């Protein structure tokens, strides 16, 4: 049963208050880590000094993606896999008036998919760096399962269900989502070389995500196609597991480098786009269920909370990484340290 009325508002408000503190926690953690290492230090060349020079291709590709998206959004055409029915033109106009720059909220998911493929392409092309980064192994395996669920949802859904509308929708989005699968497969292969215990933990977590998705799903699919709603919820929960695994690997490793810097910067932005979509694309205030859209459980609360937690996980990982990028005082001034010891 969906939450409604005052109980829904109170529950949503308490959840929102707790989740919006994650970015503040990440900022505080970043300040503490940097201060712990050095009050006057500079970023090491691996993290900042050679960033622009070493990641020239990625930055050029990022600019190309931005130009392509800006061109498509500027035209404002509907590139969905189905035409807007004449009786829905008024609704379509109201949506485009609400999202004047993006045309529709779906453009947020389209941009997210583009950023994802750009990051994963960089990871595969710089595999020696990427395989030592927090993105490889278990995080990539969870993200691979999420990509498979998203692509399956698009392929199996009718044209008017779960497909993106607007300038960045249609076949473009389907192709971009499908491209992520082989890239993530390359990054996740090392997960199968881990101990059986770690593999079992990952499998149990993935199965748990599927079970939670089954009991917290939307009601967008037609009768008999409820598995599409389950796949949609499962993809978001698997993304959450991937973000959590990424954070754990960031805590356990201190590898730095150009690709690591790029990944830690892109992932929070990428997930922010999805979180913003989940929060503001349903026509109501965040953390309120829409009874007409609920198939089982509390899917909107789950999707919105998951999106915010993912952003928080990636921001905390970024804070930890920035702390690792700042050298210790002793490393900054070895001659002075040696002189003092003498």
Contact status, residue 126 vs residue 259, Cβ threshold 8 Å:
yes
pLDDT digits (tens, 9 = 90+) for 169-220: 889 999 999 999 999 999 998 888 877 888 898 999 999 999 999 999 999 9
pLDDT tops 80 at residue 242: yes
pLDDT tops 70 at residue 18: no
Contact status, residue 111 vs residue 173, Cβ threshold 8 Å:
no
> Which of the two residues, 127 and 5, has the higher pLDDT score?
127
Q: Compute CA distances 272 → 49, 269, 306, whole Å.
A: 27, 5, 11
In this prediction the pTM is: 0.82
Tokens of 338: 């040696």
Listed in sequence order, the residues at least 6 apart from 202 whose beta carbon sits closer than 8 Å to its beta carbon are 138, 141, 142, 191
Q: How many CA atoms lie within 13 A of 303 on its CB side?
A: 32
Q: How many CA atoms lie within 13 A of 171 on its CB side?
A: 0
pLDDT digits (tens, 9 = 90+) for 87-121: 665 666 766 777 778 888 889 999 999 999 999 99
Q: Compute CA distances 308 → 110, 111, 164, 287, whole Å.
A: 18, 18, 21, 11
Q: Compute CA distances 130 → 58, 117, 161, whole Å.
A: 14, 14, 35
pLDDT score, position 220: 92
Q: How many CB atoms lie within 10 A of CB 122?
A: 23
Tokens of 223: 């009768």
* Sign of the alpha-carbon dihedral angle for 22, 23, 26, 28: negative
pLDDT digits (tens, 9 = 90+) for 73-89: 888 777 765 666 666 65
Reference 36, options 244, 327, 341; nearest CA is 327
pLDDT tops 90 at residue 54: no
pLDDT score, position 45: 44
Least confident of 24-33, 227-236, 248-257, 269-278: 24-33
């Amino acid at each position: 049963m969906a939450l409604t009325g005052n109980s829904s508002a109170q529950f949503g408000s308490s959840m929102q208050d707790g989740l919006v503190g994650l970015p503040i926690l990440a900022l505080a953690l970043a300040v503490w880590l940097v201060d712990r290492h050095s009050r006057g230090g500079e970023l090491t060349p691996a993290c900042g000094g050679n960033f622009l020079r070493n990641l020239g291709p990625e930055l050029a590709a990022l600019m190309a993606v931005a130009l392509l998206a800006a061109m498509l959004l500027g035209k404002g055409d509907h590139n969905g896999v189905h035409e807007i029915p004449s009786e829905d033109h008024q609704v379509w106009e109201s949506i485009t008036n609400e999202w004047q720059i993006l045309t529709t909220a779906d453009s947020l998911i389209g941009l997210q998919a583009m950023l994802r493929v750009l990051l994963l392409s960089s990871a595969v092309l710089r595999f020696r760096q990427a395989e030592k980064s927090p993105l490889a192994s278990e995080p990539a395996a969870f993200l691979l399962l999420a990509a498979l669920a998203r692509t399956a949802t698009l392929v199996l859904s009718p044209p008017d269900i779960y497909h993106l509308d607007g300038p960045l929708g249609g076949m473009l989005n389907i192709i971009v989502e499908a491209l992520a699968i082989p890239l993530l497969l390359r990054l996740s292969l090392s997960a199968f070389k881990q101990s059986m215990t770690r593999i079992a933990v990952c499998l149990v977590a993935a199965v748990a995500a599927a079970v939670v998705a089954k009991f917290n799903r939307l009601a967008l699919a037609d009768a008999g196609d409820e598995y599409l709603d389950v796949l949609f919820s499962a993809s978001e929960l698997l993304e959450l597991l991937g973000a959590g695994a990424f954070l754990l690997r960031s805590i356990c490793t201190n590898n730095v480098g150009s690709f690591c810097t790029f990944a830690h910067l892109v992932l929070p932005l990428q997930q922010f786009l999805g979180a913003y979509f989940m929060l503001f694309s349903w026509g109501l205030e965040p953390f309120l269920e829409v009874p007409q859209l609920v198939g089982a459980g509390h899917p909107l609360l789950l999707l919105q909370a998951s999106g915010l937690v993912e952003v928080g996980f990636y921001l905390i990982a970024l804070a930890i990484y920035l702390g690792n990028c700042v050298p210790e005082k002793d490393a900054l001034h070895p001659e002075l340290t040696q002189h003092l010891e003498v």
